[in-house]
Amino acid sequence: MKRTLITPDIAAFPEELRPVFSGAAVYDSSSSPQARVYFIDKDGGYYLKTAEKGELAREAELTRYFHGKGLSANVLAYVSAERDFMLTERVRGEDLTFAKYLAEPKKLCDISAALLRELHETEFSTCPVQNHTARYLATVERNYRAGLCDLSYAPEFATAEEAYSLVRENAHLLKNEVLLHGDYCLPNVMLDDWRFTGFIDIGNGGVGDRHVDLFWGAWTLGFNLKTDEYRARFFDAYGRDKISEDMLRVIAAAEVFG
């Protein structure tokens, strides 16, 4: 997780959030152009995320829910002004792209799969997002109509039309069956010396189809380990009894429009 020391303009933040900067070193820890993330090195650490107005409401709500399950950070404040701001406590440890973890890929793969299976077996009756699938499919439709497509996420499809047709034909098979992370990639899973401490970046979560997380869990191993060698091992460790290769292909088709 990269951190660049900066000197922020404190006046640019809502007044109620400014005290957290007092006496602290501040780092830019952003990893996406859609949001800016600051690490505030004080009292064990805080993260302050800012994005366009309304963009963090869902993430704040889901992070609070996950925290209540012992699965994520504590949300200390959510402020929606000209922009959105979400302040959380730091989750202890390092994410799964930490060199120590990447150096043991088999162990990394097995832990990633086990944690995902545990998440998917979590009771979710009070989750604030009970129909992730509707939003997921709406995104596919919107981005297809807008011509937004990245076939690199599913190179088995030659064209956007081919991928879209598969999603349309099989959309009715997607279930709202488990509690999803929604972006189950190695940088979003935190361990402290191999002990799980929490998930981060949960804004795409909710109750949905397990194959969304399974797709990303396999994809991130290939991307970060530079090999597809661990794909089968990941699915074996998760449990083949719950996995449909056909549904993984449908999700791959959907994700090119994500």
| CB 144 within 8 Å of CB 164 | yes
How far is the C-alpha of 248 from the C-alpha of 258, rounded, in Å? 15
> Could you tell me if 178 and 168 are in contact, meaning their C-beta atoms sit under 8 angstroms apart?
no
What φ, ψ does residue 162 adopt, rounded to 5°?
-65, -45
Q: What angle do CA 75, 78, 81 make, to 5 degrees?
A: 165
Look at residue 51 and give its three-state secondary structure: strand
Query: Three-state SS for 136?
Result: helix
Q: Is 150 a known active-site residue?
A: no
| DSSP letter string, 155-219 | TT-SSHHHHHHHHHHHGGG----EEE-SS--GGGEEEETTEEEEE---TT-EEE-HHHHHHHHHH
146: CB partners within 8 A, 6+ apart: none
Tokens of 166: 């598969």
Q: Which of 84, 95, 183, 209 is catalytic?
A: 183
Distance in Å from the first CA to the final CA of the chain: 23
Provide the annotated active-site residues: 183
